[in-house]
Structure 1
Amino acid sequence: MTKKNALAYGAIALLFLGLGLYMGVRTKQADPVTTTVAPTAGPQTPVQAMFAQSMNDATGANHSLSRWKGKALVVNFWAPWCAPCVQEMPELDQLAAESTAKNINIIGIGIDSPANIAEFAAKHKISYPLYVAGLSGTELARDFGNKQGGLPYTVLIGADGQVRKTYLGKLKFDELKADLAKL
């Protein structure tokens, strides 16, 4: 190995060391994600597991997701850095306003830091509830069948607590509205 190559490898190693230290400090300063899960006996369905959790909303207030039991529910897993997620949110917001009278609710479960979701919510004024799940939201989405881990991922849950359909990728709203009409 030449002296020139050794210097180049050393410089790259120092760059990665600096980047690692920066990310470590930055991660320690991030807002904590508060998600609690109630203890249960026996295996749970993904819907039961979701209803057993409490999550913070975009303002930091903690909410029990059990408040959605017995209601038809559209659960949208999203992230502020996901372009298709952001593109579909205005239409989801409009659908949420239209669906309230039909007792169909829409919630968003954000897979990002509390600070990023709060910033996004303040900027875009989404009217349906946005919850902060952090990386645990990815695991919850996997429980609902999102084995690829892609976003957006949407789950349609009937008032009976049964998953009726899942959607991977940007929603086709004509399809979603037809599926909602069947509830």
Structure 2
Amino acid sequence: MNKKHLAGYAILATAFTVLGAIAGVRQDAKGPVTTSYAPTDSRAHTAAANLYAQSLNDLAGKPQSLAQWKGKPLLVNFWASWCAPCVQEMPELSELAARDGGKTFHVIGIGIDSPTNLAEFAKKIKISYPLYVGGLGATDLARGLGNANGGLPYTVLIGADGQVRKTYLGRLKFDQLRADLAALKG
């Protein structure tokens, strides 16, 4: 990694840390800042279609088409290894994904970090769902899915029909998430 990329990641990490801290301070005990979306006449949201059009590397460096998740209920978690709330929620998110086993929904993680940092993190903490390297470009992808402030963690719930159902900015409250996932099935 050259110095230009390293400096870019450092600046981005600092910006996300500040934005995350601001979002964290503004949150109350109710949990993350959430946004619910109205249906779009059973047509996929443009943001979800854009997500499915992406190809990101997995942690082994192999390109993976996100189109493989099209037509399946999906929880997309944007995170970084330097983001404390991201790291704190990942074990419980991993347990939730493992318990369901893809029967009713799938979870993927998109890391806004360097491939090296993400791979080192994954060696320390075992995660049961696929992790992809989004790098700096994933910031734009998250913004397209409603993350105007660029804070992390940022999670997006997408129905099998490609409609964005809800977004969560900040650390997840899992009781709330389980209720949203149950409503997704119904």
Fold similarity call, TM over 0.5: yes
**Where in structure 2 are the equivalents of 1:156-175 lying within 5 Å?**
156-175=157-176
1:80 aligned residue: 81
Point out 4+ residue stretches in structure 1 off by more than 4 angstroms.
Answer: 25-28
Q: Cα RMSD over matched residues?
A: 1.8
Bigger radius of gyration, 1 or 2?
1
Task: Identify if the C-alpha distance between structure 1 residues 166 and 27 changes in structure 2 by more than 3 Å, giving closer, same or farther.
Answer: same
What is the one-letter code of the residue matched to 1:131? Y
The gaps in structure 1 that reach 5 residues or longer are 1-21, 29-43
Deviations 1:41-72 (A, max 9, x none): xxx71101110011001111111000000000
2:139 aligned residue: 138
Identity value in percent: 65
**Where in structure 2 are the equivalents of 1:94-173 lying within 5 Å?**
94-100=95-101, 102-173=103-174
Higher-RCO chain (CA-CA 8 Å, sequence separation at least 6)? 2
1:62 aligned residue: 63
What is the one-letter code of the residue matched to 1:127? S
Distance 1:130 1:123 in 2: 14
Q: TM-score, normalised by structure 1?
A: 0.76
Q: TM-score, normalised by structure 2?
A: 0.75
Distance 2:126 2:102 in 1: 21
Q: SS state of the match for residue 182, structure 1?
A: helix
Aligned residue-pair number: 147
Per-residue deviation at 1:27? 5.9
Per-residue deviation at 1:146? 0.5
Q: SS state of the match for residue 167, structure 1?
A: strand
Distance 1:82 1:163 in 2: 24
The gaps in structure 2 that reach 5 residues or longer are 9-44
Distance 1:66 1:101 in 2: 16
Per-residue deviation at 1:108? 0.2
Distance 1:26 1:94 in 2: 33
What is the one-letter code of the residue matched to 1:61? K
Distance 1:60 1:48 in 2: 23
